[in-house]
């Protein structure tokens, strides 16, 4: 299978090449030339498999240059009991008759980014061998909090890789910050940026598209690679859990094979929900994909109007991993829905960078509103959802999951659609203790670690082990940079 750039279809690579490169030189994102279809009977077979086997089955459809035995090895290690505290890896929790939560936070960093970042390092190191690359990879990451830690955990002490993570200084929670600044590993670097997530992400993107920097690093024996959700190796493992959740619902008798279901996804960079869209394109019976946003509702407006306009106020919310005005993965959706029109996609992206906005064609607009629904909520509504679900069901949601839950309720109220729906639960509530405690009407006036104990007491639930163990960690990284100083940080890191 070939991978092509969304901005120039003539750029055509193998999966290994696309994963090693991350982002195309023309600024485009790699997409599979054709989306493989689930064969007749595939869902039945997948229902009889465990998560690791399902992952191998689905990923192999996209990675024909990787062997099944390689993929078996990756999934055994990446999704094994040493990394995930649930034997089913991504369990589905039933809240009521037609509402379920797909829990994607049982991995080492307690957020859904682990699902992909436990695979990407294996994809990448193996890609270096397959492509005959002699240089070392330098992974640059801009993070709104969860990606950074998950990437550090995935890549720490991996041979032939160095990883540098930039996070917005005022845009992550105490616990997220401590998770990153206490990271172990001899090949890791962490630095805060004075600015918001988009500043950090733009800084990283700029380095990727700078030919002088590329030459300079090549001479030092490095090439830049990405662990952000623009890398195909990040997106692919996320397709698996949509299909897996569907199988779990079939196995539990909640749906019959063939029934359509909705997925409601707390969205930032549009990676998670796009993976759901790929699953649907493969033939998974999906009715609507509901795109949930916080007060940064650029995607809600886009889905409703066909105009993407990032010229708006940026809000710092209690669901920080969704505080994003530039949803990079939307580019892939535009490419697919334009019928693979690279010139059209490139033009939207040019307008986005020159004017901060673009309006899609009527065809794309129509297709978007057929496939997707959308809703947004503010922090008050997020807190109310956390409180209500805990009081009524004893189920504890994190702030991001709560945004999605609220969106599902609004969608149901607006449309009357009572299709079985899966809320994609993207983080443990313990990653956002302060906000969750406040939502429950408790004081959160204490340091990040004391909050973990407090949330345990208040809810009678148990914090995940990786977060509890933060108590014994020391801070290793205290560097910060201005947005125009990020390149210097990288050069120093590699020297
Ligand atoms: C990254 C993240 C999201 C947003 O996912 P995208 O793929 O960027 O849309 C939502 N919730 C949490 C907890 C996250 O870490």
In this predicted structure, what is the pLDDT of residue 262? 98
Distance 426 CA to ligand 1 centre (A): 7
**Averaged pLDDT, 317-329:** 91
CA-nearest residue, atom 14 of ligand 1: 321
CA atoms within 13 A on the CB side of 365: 12
Domain extent, residue 105, equals: 75-112+233-431
Does 272 sit in the ligand 1 pocket, CB within 6 Å?
yes
In this predicted structure, what is the pLDDT of residue 447? 85
Within a domain: 127: no
- Closest by CA to 127, choosing from 214, 53, 65, is 65
Q: Are 402 and 343 in contact (CB under 8 A)?
A: no
Within a domain: 489: no
Residue percentage of the chain with pLDDT more than 70: 100
Within a domain: 106: yes
> For 56-76, what is each residue's pLDDT tens digit?
999 999 999 999 999 999 999
CA pair distance 231, 240, nearest whole angstrom: 16
Does 271 sit in the ligand 1 pocket, CB within 6 Å?
yes
Q: Are strands 188-193 and 161-168 parallel, antiparallel or unpaired?
A: parallel
pLDDT bin (cut points 50, 70, 90) of residue 171 is confident
Number of domains within the chain: 1
Mean pLDDT score of the chain: 95
In this predicted structure, what is the pLDDT of residue 227? 84
Q: Which atom of ligand 1 is nearest to the CA of 146?
A: 15
Is pLDDT of 375 > 90? Answer: yes
Within a domain: 488: no
Q: How many CB atoms lie within 10 A of CB 458?
A: 16
CA pair distance 143, 122, nearest whole angstrom: 21
Within a domain: 1: no
Please state at what angle helix 486-494 crosses helix 211-219, rounded to 10 degrees: 10
**Averaged pLDDT, 417-423:** 98
Does 229 sit in the ligand 1 pocket, CB within 6 Å?
yes
DSSP string, 120-176: HHHHHHHHHHHTT--SEEEEEEE-SSHHHHHHHHHHTT-TTEEEEEEEETTSS-HHH
Worst-scoring range by mean pLDDT, 62-66, 143-147, 329-333, 484-488? 143-147
Q: Which of 268, 330, 435 to mutate to test the pocket of ligand 1 (most atoms within 8 A of CB)?
A: 268
- Closest by CA to 405, choosing from 94, 99, 96, 93, is 99
How many angstroms separate the most distant Cα atoms in the chain? 60
SS3 186: coil
In this predicted structure, what is the pLDDT of residue 173? 79
In this predicted structure, what is the pLDDT of residue 205? 86
> For 20-40, what is each residue's pLDDT tens digit?
888 898 989 999 999 999 999
Better-predicted residue by pLDDT, 144 or 148? 148
CA pair distance 185, 157, nearest whole angstrom: 5
CA pair distance 402, 382, nearest whole angstrom: 6
353 phi, psi to nearest 5 deg: -80, -30
Verify whether residue 83 is a known catalytic residue. no
47 phi, psi to nearest 5 deg: -60, -30
Residue percentage of the chain with pLDDT more than 90: 88
Worst-scoring range by mean pLDDT, 163-172, 230-239, 363-372, 420-429? 163-172
Is pLDDT of 105 > 90? Answer: yes
The dihedral built from the CA positions of residue 177, 179, 182 and 185, taken in this order, carries a sign that is negative
**Averaged pLDDT, 466-492:** 93
> For 204-261, what is each residue's pLDDT tens digit?
989 988 999 999 999 999 998 888 778 999 999 999 999 999 999 999 999 999 999 9
Q: Which atom of ligand 1 is nearest to the CA of 105?
A: 13
Radius of gyration for the chain, computed over Cα atoms and rounded to the nearest angstrom: 21
CA pair distance 82, 424, nearest whole angstrom: 23
CA atoms within 13 A on the CB side of 314: 16
CA pair distance 401, 420, nearest whole angstrom: 17
Does 266 sit in the ligand 1 pocket, CB within 6 Å?
yes
Worst-scoring range by mean pLDDT, 284-298, 383-397, 444-458? 444-458
* Residue at token pair 């695979």: 119
Please state at what angle helix 271-282 crosses helix 330-337, rounded to 10 degrees: 30
Q: Are 106 and 90 in contact (CB under 8 A)?
A: yes
DSSP string, 204-220: HHHHHT-HHHHHHHHHT
Within a domain: 258: yes
In this predicted structure, what is the pLDDT of residue 209? 84
Is pLDDT of 301 > 90? Answer: yes
**Averaged pLDDT, 258-268:** 97
In this predicted structure, what is the pLDDT of residue 329? 96
Within a domain: 103: yes
CA atoms within 13 A on the CB side of 347: 8
Burial class of residue 396 in the structure, from the number of CB atoms within 10 Å of its CB (0-12 exposed, 13-18 middle, 19+ buried): buried
Worst-scoring range by mean pLDDT, 2-16, 165-179, 415-429? 165-179
* Cα end-to-end distance, the chain, whole Å: 37
Q: Which of 83, 113, 162, 410 is catalytic?
A: 113
CA pair distance 236, 224, nearest whole angstrom: 20
Q: Which helix (H) or strand (E) holds 450?
A: helix 448-459
SS3 263: strand
CATH of the domain at 248: 3.40.50.1100
Distance 69 CA to ligand 1 centre (A): 30
Does 320 sit in the ligand 1 pocket, CB within 6 Å?
no
In this predicted structure, what is the pLDDT of residue 23? 84
Is pLDDT of 145 > 80? Answer: no
Within a domain: 173: no
Does 409 sit in the ligand 1 pocket, CB within 6 Å?
no
CA pair distance 174, 158, nearest whole angstrom: 27
Does 105 sit in the ligand 1 pocket, CB within 6 Å?
no
């Amino acid at each position: 299978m070939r991978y092509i750039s969304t901005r120039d279809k003539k750029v055509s690579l193998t999966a290994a090449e696309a994963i090693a490169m991350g982002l195309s030189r023309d600024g485009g994102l790699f997409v599979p030339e054709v989306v493989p279809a689930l064969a007749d009977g595939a869902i039945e077979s997948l229902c009889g498999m465990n998560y690791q086997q399902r992952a191998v089955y689905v990923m192999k459809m996209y990675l024909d240059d990787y062997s099944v035995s390689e993929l078996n090895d990756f999934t055994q290690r990446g999704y094994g009991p040493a990394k995930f505290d649930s034997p089913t890896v991504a369990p589905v929790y039933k809240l009521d008759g037609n509402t379920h939560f797909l829990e994607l936070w049982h991995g080492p960093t307690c957020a859904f980014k682990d699902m992909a970042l436990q695979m990407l390092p294996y994809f990448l190191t193996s890609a270096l061998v397959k492509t005959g690359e002699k240089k070392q990879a330098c992974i640059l990451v801009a993070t709104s909090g969860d990606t950074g830690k998950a990437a550090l955990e995935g890549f720490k002490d991996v041979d032939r890789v160095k990883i540098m993570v930039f996070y917005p200084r005022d845009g992550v929670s105490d616990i997220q910050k401590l998770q990153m600044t206490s990271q172990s590993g001899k090949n890791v670097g962490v630095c805060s940026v004075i600015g918001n997530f988009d500043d950090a992400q733009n800084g990283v993107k700029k380095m990727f598209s700078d030919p002088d920097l590329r030459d300079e690093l090549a001479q030092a024996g490095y090439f830049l690679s990405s662990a952000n959700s623009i890398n195909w190796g990040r997106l692919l493992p996320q397709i698996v859990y949509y299909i897996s959740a569907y199988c779990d619902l079939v196995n539990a008798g909640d749906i019959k094979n063939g029934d359509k279901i909705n997925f409601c996804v707390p969205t930032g960079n549009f990676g998670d929900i796009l993976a759901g869209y790929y699953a649907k394109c493969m033939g998974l019976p999906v009715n609507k994909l509901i795109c949930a946003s916080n007060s940064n509702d650029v995607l809600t407006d886009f889905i409703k109007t066909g105009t993407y306009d990032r010229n708006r106020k940026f809000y710092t919310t209690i669901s920080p991993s969704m505080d994003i005005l530039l949803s990079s993965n939307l580019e892939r959706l535009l490419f697919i829905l334009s019928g693979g029109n690279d010139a059209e996609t490139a033009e939207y992206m040019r307008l986005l960078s020159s004017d901060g906005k673009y309006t899609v064609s009527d065809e794309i607009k129509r297709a978007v509103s057929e496939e997707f629904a959308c809703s947004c909520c503010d922090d008050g509504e997020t807190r109310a959802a956390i409180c209500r679900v805990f009081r009524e069901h004893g189920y504890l949601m994190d702030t991001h999951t709560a945004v999605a839950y609220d969106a599902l309720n609004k969608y149901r109220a607006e449309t009357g659609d009572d299709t079985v729906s899966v809320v994609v639960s993207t983080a443990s509530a313990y990653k956002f203790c302060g906000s969750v405690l406040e939502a429950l009407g408790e004081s959160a006036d204490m340091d990040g670690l004391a909050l973990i104990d407090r949330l345990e007491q208040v809810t009678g639930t148990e914090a995940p082990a990786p977060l509890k163990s933060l108590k014994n960690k020391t801070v290793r990284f205290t560097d910060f940079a201005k947005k125009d100083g990020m390149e210097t940080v990288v050069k120093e890191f590699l020297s």
